[in-house]
Amino acid sequence: MRVLLANDDGVTAPGIRSLYHALREHFETTIIAPLEERSTTGHSLSLDKPLRLERIEENIYGCSGFPADCVLMGVGHVMKDNRPDVVVSGINRGANLGQDLYYSGTVAAAREAAFHHVPSLAVSLVFGKVNENHHYDSAALFIKMCLEEGIHKMCPPMTLLNINVPDLPLKEIRGVRLTDVGFRRYSEQIHARIDTRGREYFWIAGHYEGFFHHSESDCHAVEEKMISVTPHTLIGKKDQDFQALIPLIEKLNAKFSL
pLDDT tens for each residue of the chain, 258 residues long: 999 999 999 999 999 999 999 999 999 999 999 999 998 888 999 999 999 999 999 999 999 999 999 999 999 999 999 999 999 999 999 999 999 999 999 999 999 999 999 999 999 999 977 777 899 999 999 999 999 999 999 988 999 999 999 999 999 999 999 999 988 877 878 899 999 999 999 988 777 777 778 888 999 999 999 999 999 998 876 656 788 888 999 999 888 865
CATH number at residue 142: 3.40.1210.10
Contacts 24+ apart (CB under 8 A), 51-57: 53/77, 53/78, 56/11
Per-residue pLDDT, 257: 63
Range of the domain at 112: 2-182+213-253
Q: Please, what is the Cα angle at 232 between 59 and 168, to 5 degrees? A: 65
Q: Is residue 147 one of the residues assigned to a domain?
A: yes
Tally of CB atoms within 10 A around 49: 8
Q: Is residue 102 one of the residues assigned to a domain?
A: yes
Cis peptide before 204 (omega within 30 of 0): no
H helices of 126-187, in order, are: 136-148
Q: Is residue 20 one of the residues assigned to a domain?
A: yes
Using only C-alpha atoms, the chain has a radius of gyration, in whole angstroms, of 18
Per-residue pLDDT, 242: 82
Per-residue pLDDT, 244: 82
Quote the number of domains for the chain: 1
Q: Is residue 193 one of the residues assigned to a domain?
A: no
3-state class of 93 per DSSP?
strand
Q: Is residue 188 one of the residues assigned to a domain?
A: no
Residue type, 162: N
Per-residue pLDDT, 200: 95
Q: pTM for the whole thing?
A: 0.91
Query: What is the number of alpha carbons within 13 Å of residue 19 lying toward its C-beta?
Result: 34
- Within 35-156, strands assigned E span 53-57, 60-63, 86-93, 120-126
Per-residue pLDDT, 76: 95
CA distances from 196 to 193, 201, 204 (A): 10, 11, 20
Q: Is residue 194 one of the residues assigned to a domain?
A: no
Per-residue pLDDT, 229: 96
Q: Is residue 130 one of the residues assigned to a domain?
A: yes
Q: Is residue 105 one of the residues assigned to a domain?
A: yes
Per-residue pLDDT, 71: 98
Per-residue pLDDT, 62: 97
